[in-house]
Chains A and B, each alone.
Chain A
Amino acid sequence: AQSVSQHNHHVILSEAASLELGCNYSYGGTVNLFWYVQYPGQHLQLLLKYFSGDPLVKGIKGFEAEFIKSKFSFNLRKPSVQWSDTAEYFCAVNYGQNFVFGPGTRLSVLP
């Protein structure tokens, strides 16, 4: 069965620290990859997506992610986090019509 794993359950950083959240998926042929963010009390919002082409994709709010096919990974990065980045981050993989979400990583940024 297709699955998505995220390396960290909870990450705590100080403002201006660099962020990297890991995401790995099980092999399933051609996939499309996404990172969604869920701010407290809000719904899922798309941060960035990868369909094809340049494996380094840039999203909103200074986030970027790198697709490494050989490692089945799609890690999310941000060079300098802000307090407002405190949220839950979900990696998602699109297999055909289905979307499979990772378990989420809670990011807490301390002011």
Chain B
Amino acid sequence: EPEVTQTPSHQVTQMGQEVILRCVPISNHLYFYWYRQILGQKVEFLVSFYNNEISEKSEIFDDQFSVERPDGSNFTLKIRSTKLEDSAMYFCASRLQRKETQYFGPGTRLLVL
């Protein structure tokens, strides 16, 4: 069964450093998403991406965040200058059409020191 994959599974970085989280959505899917889950808290929507552009973003997704689909298979989330409060599990998700289920990746656990 096809699945969403994410790399790395864990990343530790120093505050102020840039990080890029990578996702490979299911190959024929058209809608892509990033979510985060701070430890012990709920899953929060960050951004949705369709047709090579951001279609919706939350208040969390400020100028420090950006997304890209550089090559038709990868979908990346970049945090330009990480803060301590960016420490969280980041989930990528994709779906084929709007009225379809989102499939989640296994997540990347980011720790900012």
Answer whether A and B are interacting partners: yes
- Residues of A near any B CB (own CB < 8 A): 32, 34, 36, 42-46, 49, 51, 90, 92, 96-104
Of A32, A43, A97, A104, the residue contacting B42 (CB under 8 A) is A104
Partner of B101, one of A34, A96, A97, A101: A34
| The residue from B41, B50, B104 contacting A44, defined by CB atoms under 8 A apart | B104
A90, chain B: closest CB distance, angstroms: 6
Could you tell me the distance between the alpha carbons of A98 and B35 in the complex, rounded to whole angstroms?
A: 11
What's the least CB distance linking A100 to chain B, in Å?
7
In this complex, the interface size class of chain B, counting residues with CB under 8 Å from chain A, is: 20 to 34
Closest to A43 in B: B106
Residue of A nearest to B99 (CB): A51
Evaluate contact between B45 and A100: CB separation under 8 angstroms. Answer: yes
| Pairwise interchain contact A98-B45, C-beta atoms closer than 8 A | yes
- B52 located at the interface, meaning its Cβ lies under 8 Å from any Cβ of chain A in the complex: no
Contact at B102–A99, with CB atoms within 8 Å?
yes
B104 touches A97 (CB 8 A): no
Interface of chain A, main secondary structure: strand
* Contacts A44-B104, A97-B56 given; does A32 touch B43 at CB 8 Å: no
Contact pick for A97, options B41, B48, B103, B106, CB 8 Å:
B48
Closest to B104 in A: A44
Q: How far is the CA of A99 from the CA of B104 in the complex (A)?
A: 12
Q: Are B55 and A43 in contact, with the CB atoms below 8 A? A: no
Contacts of B75 in A (CB 8 A): none
A11 to B44, CA, bound (A): 22
Q: Is the CB of B91 within 8 A of A49?
A: no
What are the residues of chain B within 8 A of A32 when measuring CB–CB? 99
CB pair B48–A44 under 8 Å, yes or no, is: no
Contacts of A46 in B (CB 8 A): 101, 103
